[in-house]
Amino acid sequence: VAVVVHGGSETTFGYDRLVIATGARCKRPVSVPSAQSPGVFCLRTMEDGFAIEAHIRDKKPVSVLIVGGGYVGVEMADALARRGMSVTLCGRGVLGTIDPSLGEIVIEELGRHDVHVINASVTGVTGQSDDLGVSLSDGGIEKAEMVLFAAGVEPSTELSRGAGANFGESGAIAVSRGMETSVAGIYAAGDCAETWHRLLERSVYLPLGTSSHKQGRIAGENAAGGAAEYQGTLGTQVVKVFDLAVARTGLSDREASDEGYAPLTVEVSCPDCAGYYPGSHQMRFRLTADSRTGQLLGAQIVGDWRAQVAKRVDVLATAIHHRMRVQDLEHLDLSYTPPLGTPWDPVQVAAHSWMKA
Amino acid sequence: VAVVVHGGSETTFGYDRLVIATGARCKRPVSVPSAQSPGVFCLRTMEDGFAIEAHIRDKKPVSVLIVGGGYVGVEMADALARRGMSVTLCGRGVLGTIDPSLGEIVIEELGRHDVHVINASVTGVTGQSDDLGVSLSDGGIEKAEMVLFAAGVEPSTELSRGAGANFGESGAIAVSRGMETSVAGIYAAGDCAETWHRLLERSVYLPLGTSSHKQGRIAGENAAGGAAEYQGTLGTQVVKVFDLAVARTGLSDREASDEGYAPLTVEVSCPDCAGYYPGSHQMRFRLTADSRTGQLLGAQIVGDWRAQVAKRVDVLATAIHHRMRVQDLEHLDLSYTPPLGTPWDPVQVAAHSWMKA
């Protein structure tokens, strides 16, 4: 491998085993002429973060337009609105990782905090400096003093391409469950590589920090002579948006259907703790299982950020890991106290609702 | 069955199947002469609660002495301190359901909220009205304007005794996993009955609302001709004490040892969310597994009440339900976002710590 040390000369290192962990980089859905660059940002690296921070400190922009309604988009909408900026979020929907009925709750929460959501894609950056803006697929132009691209990531794969490794359909590096690429002795892990999906039983591109950590350990162990095997992702994920936590695990109804399952999905509202207890909120829960076998396939929850949404999804992730049936969820001995839950946890309330559907 | 309707005459009903759900009542560790009864309370029923509420409203006591440091004791200490009362908690330790190193954290939290904890048992009630107090095993007398007994419960079993049902060693009604008593056609469920323990594979007396709900459904289903079987408790429980949540599932180290396991327990402190995120706290975690096989046996967590302590214990309850090994916890795909967790969840941090121990 040839390594160029920052600002220095090229050095070549040999290796017995190589682990590629080159990560991913921001997608830019439109090209941005360099003349327009001041005030236009991505957010991926620490340097990106420092640049955004410096720009806000020095230029004091009062408005920002965020391109993309995924996790980074909504988290930055939250962060910048808290700093007092006027925030507009442009994208084809918000949080495409959850179903639209739950996405509506997130859009309401954004609205409650004065984040303006525009349901259109961005076709280009217009103007510059004091006249900066973006053109939209609906023909409009939206002005803002700062533009932030949060339109997803793509794997950084140049190094592995040079090494002759194969790629999956996703464009990420194809790896075995031992995290080895198609080239013996070369491993890849993290956002540059594909991820084994435990339910789909095939590789997908699902760049998440949790999977990256697991893959990195396995690649490292195997590069050092081990024989560890990645047990697979369920796509478990959570994001906090103002006062909401939004979490999912497994497959959505549509994803399950596309994979040949016969999914049945129920959506229930239930209190996140005893209804009489101060601070009780409704939690919205979608539960998906195969209607023929009852096999649990997925869950999505939106609720107050103090309502243990993330770890309730984790109970389901643990259940799906063990290929539990929805009928068996009611047998789980889950904890209860009035300030923090209900005698049948929402996980079980959703299961009861599914069984009646 | 003979039924006396409240204040009315006796009526006799026949039955094909009978479900006994007579619950439990407060233990009174000392007898209280009726002359001292004003100002002396138990808390079990709604009527108990109304009586306490009326006494506080009418007599405006400024001090209360709570007998017993279990769940009801610490919850009432929390509730009455919030109402501005001077609270003293007397008992042999606080929250005996968790190990002493975690119990210390709860005692500190009580102290931080001006609850005075006396480590002694109560031998009697002294004086009355304005001179009310309790005598202690250490010879002292502690005065208070109100005394609340929260010294645990005992099963209410008179009805089943009349029916000829057998009792377990615990004194609660013995039942099959179908919730049938020793008398065919008579079922019992809830705090009057014993509970099948999934890890111990025998019946214990562990009166908890969560198990009662499950048992009630099974008794009802089977009384109606079904063949449902209780899948067992793990003793999962949680309590909120001021700003702390305190949860456990499975067996403690000592309980596991008494049962013939070879337990190994680790105790770790880890952040409940990304350390750089505002509001991050340390969470204290005890994880117990069998040192020979790695089989998960139990967990105890104390942390901030917003730190998803209860549902983190539930992830472990779900794992123990499936007889997972501690080595396999790191493969669980648990959710992560900086405001709500860490890339390796505390559940997995504890597991890593166990594997290194």
Look up residue B203 and give its two tokens. 């019946």
- Specify the DSSP class assigned to residue B32: -
- H helices then E strands: how many in chain A? 8, 21
Distance CA B255, CA B71 (A): 20
Shortest distance between the Cα of B213 and any Cα of chain A, in A, equals: 7
Average pLDDT over residues B77-106: 95
Query: What count of Cα atoms within 13 Å lies in the side-chain half-sphere of residue A245?
Result: 31
Look up residue B285 and give its two tokens. 């975690």
Q: Which of B241, B314, B329, B344 should we substitute to test contact with A (largest number of A Cβ atoms within 10 Å)?
A: B314
Query: What count of Cα atoms within 13 Å lies in the side-chain half-sphere of residue A237?
Result: 19
Q: Is the pLDDT of residue A227 over 70?
A: yes
Average pLDDT over residues A210-238: 97
Question: What's phi and psi for B213, nearest 5 deg?
Answer: -60, -45
Average pLDDT over residues A312-338: 97
Burial of B42 per CB tally in 10 Å (0-12, 13-18, 19+): buried
**Structural contact between residues A283 and A255, judged by C-beta atoms closer than 8 angstroms:** no
> Considering CB atoms only, which of A236, A321, A324 is closest to B335?
A236
One-letter amino acid for residue B309 of the chain: V
Which of A199, A353, A332, A336 lies closest to A284, judged by CA? Answer: A353
> Considering CB atoms only, which of B209, B305, B315 is closest to A318?
B315
Average pLDDT over residues B81-98: 94
Distance CA B287, CA B324 (A): 13
Distance CA A315, CA B314 (A): 6
- Give me the sign of the Cα torsion angle B161, B163, B169, B174: negative
Please give the C-alpha separations between residue A27 and each of A30, A68, A150, B250, in angstroms, as whole numbers.
Answer: 9, 10, 8, 47
Interface touch B333/A310, C-beta < 8 Å: no
What strand order describes the sheet that includes B40-42? B40-42, B147-149, B63-67, B86-90, B116-118
Q: What confidence score (pLDDT) does residue B350 get?
A: 97
Q: What confidence score (pLDDT) does residue A250 get?
A: 98
Percent of chain A beyond pLDDT 90? 83
Which of A72, A117, A77 lies closest to A93, judged by CA? Answer: A117
One-letter amino acid for residue B321 of the chain: H
Look up residue B21 and give its two tokens. 């759900």
Q: Is the pLDDT of residue A36 over 90?
A: no
Angle between the N-to-C axes of helices A100-112 and A71-82, in degrees from 0 to 180, rounded to the nearest 10: 20
Q: What confidence score (pLDDT) does residue A163 get?
A: 84
Q: Is the pLDDT of residue A2 over 70?
A: no
| A191: contact with B, CB 8 A cutoff | no
Q: Is the ipTM of this complex over 0.90?
A: yes
| B305: contact with A, CB 8 A cutoff | yes
> Considering CB atoms only, which of A314, A328, A336 is closest to B315?
A314
Which of B272, B269, B313 lies closest to B105, judged by CA? Answer: B269
Query: What count of Cα atoms within 13 Å lies in the side-chain half-sphere of residue A281?
Result: 15
Distance CA B34, CA B15 (A): 39
Distance CA B72, CA B292 (A): 37
> Considering CB atoms only, which of A317, A318, A337 is closest to B238?
A337
Q: Is the pLDDT of residue B36 over 90?
A: no
Q: What confidence score (pLDDT) does residue B7 get?
A: 67
Distance CA A202, CA B144 (A): 67
Long-range contacts of A173-177 (CB under 8 A, 24+ apart): A173/A20, A174/A203, A175/A203, A175/A215, A177/A229, A177/A230, A177/A232
CB atoms under 10 Å from CB of B50, counted, come to: 10
Query: Of residues A131 and B179, which shows the higher confidence score?
Result: B179
Q: What confidence score (pLDDT) does residue A211 get?
A: 97
| A242: contact with B, CB 8 A cutoff | no
Look up residue B88 and give its two tokens. 């003293």
pTM above 0.90, yes or no: yes
Average pLDDT over residues B113-123: 94
Residues in chain A: 357
Average pLDDT over residues A44-59: 95
Q: How high is the mean pLDDT of chain B? A: 93
Look up residue A202 and give its two tokens. 């095939």
Average pLDDT over residues A320-332: 97
Interface touch B247/A335, C-beta < 8 Å: yes
Q: What confidence score (pLDDT) does residue A3 get?
A: 64
Q: What confidence score (pLDDT) does residue B38 get?
A: 87
Q: What confidence score (pLDDT) does residue B2 get?
A: 62
Interface touch B332/A344, C-beta < 8 Å: no
DSSP A187-200: EE-STTB-EEETTT
pLDDT in tens, A166-218: 999 999 999 999 999 999 999 999 999 999 999 999 999 999 999 999 999 99
Q: Is the pLDDT of residue B112 over 70?
A: yes
SS3 content of chain B, % helix, strand, coil (to 5): 30, 30, 45
Q: Which residues in B lie closer than 8 A to residue A333 (C-beta atoms)?
A: 198, 210-211, 232-236, 249, 317, 321
Q: What confidence score (pLDDT) does residue A176 get?
A: 97
pLDDT in tens, B3-22: 666 667 778 888 999 999 99
Q: What confidence score (pLDDT) does residue A37 get?
A: 80
pLDDT in tens, B223-254: 999 999 999 999 999 999 999 999 999 999 99
CB atoms under 10 Å from CB of A38, counted, come to: 13
CA angle A350, A196, A19 (to 5 degrees): 140
Q: What confidence score (pLDDT) does residue A109 get?
A: 97
Model confidence at B37, in pLDDT bands (50, 70, 90)?
confident
Residue A116, SS3 per DSSP: strand
Residues in chain B: 357
Model confidence at A14, in pLDDT bands (50, 70, 90)?
confident
Q: Is the pLDDT of residue B35 over 80?
A: no
Distance CA A232, CA A173 (A): 16
Interface touch A340/B249, C-beta < 8 Å: no
Interface touch A332/B313, C-beta < 8 Å: no
**Structural contact between residues A166 and A181, judged by C-beta atoms closer than 8 angstroms:** yes
Model confidence at A5, in pLDDT bands (50, 70, 90)?
low
Q: What confidence score (pLDDT) does residue A160 get?
A: 85
């890849």: which residue's tokens?
Answer: A188
